[in-house]
């Protein structure tokens, strides 16, 4: 049995602190074979950098997924996506002019795991600067081009609309071991194994500051809603507690199908 731990969107330093603090305890109790995380908001809430990815690698995270914000630190993000192209997967249904890999293969004690990342199209048009092509036809092509045998295929579906997310889950049922929703930062209570053996959740949730709006300072978010002004968002760096959201999936590595998925959502005090 292959056990995979996946953290939802890690949002800035409160998210990184929460993961670094809690991961040793989770490792001890769960003993996963592979630890993954969505990192589109890793560096101060938007994008990845070499420094922040290395910080998580030292903490024990072995593979990373992206999203609409993964490139937001411009050349710093591109540098990280190139340097760690064997560990970080960026969305597969965006123009191939973007830096980074669209598939990552990670060796575990139980066999090779293929990791993919796709963006949704519904309500996402203002959240990514270029046209996003269909994740449905995109994932078909992607699976065709990675047809070798894997112990598990894990797809992070980074999307806003719950309907598009569950439809994508059914579309991939039996073809991948897990479809894990990310992006909204709000965990959903619908973790389940679909009828053909795919573990599914609409959204894993985030690892980020508690008492925030999706990881950013609530006062700034409120100001934007109250005034309609384009307020620059910021991370509450001094947060004393954080939300920690992750899933634990068990997979039969022979059939590459899921046995179980458990979603965890908790608030942890930051030391
Ligand atoms: Fe996010
Ligand atoms: Fe996102």
Q: What is the pLDDT of residues 151-176, one digit of tens each?
A: 999 999 999 999 999 999 999 999 99
Side by side, the strands of the sheet bearing 152-158 are: 104-108, 111-119, 152-158, 178-182, 199-201, 192-193
Q: Is the pLDDT of residue 94 over 90?
A: yes
93 is in an annotated binding site: no
Q: Is the pLDDT of residue 131 over 90?
A: no
**Which sequence spans correspond to the domains of the chain?**
2-269
Q: Is the pLDDT of residue 111 over 90?
A: yes
Distance, in Å, from the CA atom of 255 to the CA atom of 199, rounded to the nearest integer, reads: 13
Burial grade of 195 (CB within 10 A; 0-12, 13-18, 19 or more): exposed
Write out the two tokens for 239.
Answer: 């947060």
Distance 124 CA to ligand 1 centre (A): 12
Write out the two tokens for 163.
Answer: 């309907």
Distance 140 CA to ligand 1 centre (A): 25
- For the stretch 201-249, pLDDT in tens is 999 999 999 999 999 999 999 999 999 999 999 999 999 999 999 999 9
- Active-site residue, selected from the candidate residues 44, 69, 146, 265: 69
| 69 among known catalytic residues | yes
Contact in structure between 201 and 157 (CB atoms under 8 Å): no
Domain 2-269 = CATH 3.50.50.60: no
44 is in an annotated binding site: no
Cα distances from 188 to residues 66, 180, 234, in angstroms, run 19, 11, 25
Distance 239 CA to ligand 1 centre (A): 18
Max intra-chain CA distance, the chain:
56
Distance, in Å, from the CA atom of 159 to the CA atom of 143, rounded to the nearest integer, reads: 19
219 is in an annotated binding site: no
């Amino acid at each position: 049995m292959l056990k995979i731990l996946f953290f939802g969107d890690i949002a800035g330093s409160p998210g990184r602190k929460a993961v670094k603090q809690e991961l040793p305890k989770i490792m001890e109790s769960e003993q996963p074979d592979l630890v993954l995380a969505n990192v589109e908001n890793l560096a101060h809430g938007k994008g990845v950098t070499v420094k922040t990815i290395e910080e998580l690698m030292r903490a024990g995270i072995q593979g990373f997924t992206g999203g609409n914000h993964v490139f937001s630190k411009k050349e710093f993000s591109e540098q990280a996506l190139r340097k760690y192209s064997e560990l970080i997967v960026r969305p597969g249904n965006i123009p191939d002019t973007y830096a980074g890999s669209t598939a990552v293969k990670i060796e575990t004690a139980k066999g090779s795991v293929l990791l993919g990342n796709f963006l949704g199209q519904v309500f996402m048009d203002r959240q990514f600067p270029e046209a996003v092509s269909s994740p449905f036809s995109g994932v078909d092509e992607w699976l065709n081009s990675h047809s070798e045998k894997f112990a598990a295929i894990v797809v992070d579906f980074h999307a806003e609309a719950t309907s598009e997310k569950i439809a994508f889950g059914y579309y991939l049922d039996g073809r991948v071991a897990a479809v894990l929703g990310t992006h909204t930062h709000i965990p959903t209570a619908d973790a389940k194994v679909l009828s053909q053996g795919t573990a599914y959740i609409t959204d894993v949730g985030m690892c980020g500051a508690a008492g925030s709006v999706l990881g950013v300072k609530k006062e700034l978010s409120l100001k934007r809603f109250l005034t309609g002004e384009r307020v620059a968002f910021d991370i509450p760096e001094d947060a004393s507690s954080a939300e920690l959201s992750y899933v634990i999936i068990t997979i039969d590595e022979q059939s590459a199908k899921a046995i179980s998925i458990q979603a965890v959502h908790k608030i942890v005090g930051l030391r």
